[in-house]
Amino acid sequence: MQRLILCAWLLVAGGAAWGQAVVPKPAAASSATAPTLADLKKQFESAMRDTQRANREALKTLRQVYSDSLSKLQADLQAAGEMQSVLAVRDEKARFEQTGEIPAAALVTEPAALRKAQDDWNTSCQQAPVAQAQKLVGLSEKYMQQLSLLQKSLTARNDQEGLKAVNDETERLLGNNVIREALALAKAAKPVTPEKTATNTATPPVKPEPVKPTTTTPTKAPEAKLVEVGEYKFYPAGKEPAAKDARDQRLEFPSAERRNTAYFYTLSVKIYVDKAKLHTNRHTNYDYITKEESGDLASIPRITLASRNKDIPEGCQLVVQYFSRQIARATDVREERVEHIKTPQIARGQALSVDGQGITLYKSDYRSSYGYRERSGREFCGLILSVFDPEGKLLIQQCTPSSLIKACTPGMAAEKDQENPGRRN
């Protein structure tokens, strides 16, 4: 299973997507003149787009490989007559095909082969953004060197206007958030080599006394516990209260470069609906039947925030933006509410789940056995999840569905209560 997933990743890694940074060569000019700033900029931006596009394709390949591995595992378990394990794999396959991710809350303990496949997937997905980050860093460093050479050439010709343009482009490069994130990711993933001790001929280094072997086990992430922050309760992933008919939502990143943050943190969300205030009336008159549903529906998100390779400090803000649309009119989308949830510290390797307050919307649905139907009201249609550190810097942001990507911004949305919940048209 592990070979299947990692071989697929290495196959992609061997191509332009994950290979060693390709040095963009200046386009051959008709004359012997050096490439212009416009030439270099065009080549650099094209190489960046190609890298990000290859990253998206590689992730699609990884998803397909994992899905295929589950199909094979299900067939093997079915042949062995292991009913319970077959059901577990079947449920995981259906969940994954809907969400495309494996959050901490979805990790299983049994069967062992399924857990191994999940761990292999997570390992591959952690390697992919690192490889992309290293590629982006390589392209950026080469571009910076080319700008430096062009700067020297313009200085020799005393081209002040050209020098100003190159200096402006260099500043833009150094301030590019995508490149800064790639640098941070590549640095965090780089193995730390021990510093060499400087030799001193006058004073030989003192040999440390041998340390007696101990029976201590390797340090593990502390077990997550229930934490209350204000009116919110954060449960260890997998130990939340039951939520009937909770449905996994597929979260999308607003841009390819933002996907790199998944190396450090992950988000997942389920939506469950409270129908306590929804009333159903059914009438039968000979062969004529009518059914009417009307009332308030509360859509509540259960959000899981996991720390992979970096602690989430105490005092971060989980911002939830809720959106609704008029029933039967998919284009009438509006923001209903913005909820701010202060988070506790989440240590590396931990995952905590919290329920948002959700939104309440009124609906009416009238149907008759003659085919007549009349619908009115509004319905929940998606949300944007953003996590900001205590200083207000965006750590991770995702949304569902993908149509909300255009509403994603790096700034923190102001808190907003839902106005007139229920009968609001």
pLDDT band at 342 (very low <50, low <70, confident <90, very high): very high
Share of residues in the chain with pLDDT > 90 (%):
26
Instruction: Count the Cβ atoms, other than its own, within 10 Å of residue 193.
Output: 6
pLDDT greater than 90 at residue 412:
yes
Predicted local confidence at residue 23, as pLDDT: 44
Tens of pLDDT along 182-225? 787 777 766 544 444 444 444 455 454 444 444 434 445 566 78
At 50, the amino acid letter reads D
pLDDT score recorded for residue 421: 63
As a whole number, mean pLDDT of residues 286-298 equals 81
Given a cut of 50, whether residue 30 has pLDDT beyond it is no
286 torsion bin: left (phi>0), alpha (psi -120 to 50), beta (else): left
pLDDT band of 1, cuts 50, 70, 90: low
**Residue 360 above 90 pLDDT?**
yes
Looking at per-residue pLDDT, the higher value among 122 and 337 belongs to 337
Question: What does the pLDDT read at residue 51?
Answer: 82
How confident is the model at residue 176, as a pLDDT? Answer: 80
27, pLDDT greater than 60: no
For the chain, what is the mean pLDDT? 80
| Res. 327: pLDDT tops 50 | yes
How many residues in the chain?
Answer: 425
Mean pLDDT on 313-327: 94
Does 398 have pLDDT greater than 60?
yes
pLDDT score for 180: 80
Stretch 280-301: mean pLDDT, rounded?
Answer: 82
Average pLDDT on 31-60 reads 81
14-26: average pLDDT? 43
Burial of 16 per CB tally in 10 Å (0-12, 13-18, 19+) = middle
When pLDDT is averaged across residues 249-261 and rounded to a whole number, the result is 82
**Range in 59-68, 275-284, 349-358 the model is least confident about:** 275-284
pTM comes to 0.59
